[in-house]
Amino acid sequence: MLQVRIGPSKRPGILKFWKFIAAALSLASFSIFLLQKYSDIFSLTTEKKAMSERLKKMKSVNPCPVMICSKEQFSFYIQSGAANVVPPKICFRNELVLGVEKKNAGVGINAVIINGKTGELIQTGHYNMWDGDVNPLIELLKTTETGSIVLMASYDEASSKLNDEARELILNLGSSFVKSLGFRDNWIFVGGKGAEVDKTFEKHMKHDPQNNKYEFWPELIDLTGCIPKYPN
Q: How many CB atoms lie within 10 A of CB 157?
A: 23
158, amino acid identity:
A
Closest by alpha carbon to 118, among 99, 136, 145? 145
SS3 184: coil
**Mean per-residue pLDDT, 183-188:** 97
17, amino acid identity:
F
Q: Is the pLDDT of residue 206 over 60?
A: yes
The CA distance from 182 to 184, in Å, is: 6
SS3 78: strand
Q: What is the pLDDT of residues 39-63, one digit of tens each?
A: 555 554 665 566 556 545 544 467 8
Residues across the chain: 232
pLDDT-derived band at 195 (thresholds 50, 70, 90) equals low
Which residues neighbour 141 within 8 Å (Cβ) at sequence distance 6 or greater? 150, 166, 169, 170, 173
Q: Give φ, ψ of 111 to 5 degrees.
A: -130, 145
pTM for the full predicted model: 0.73
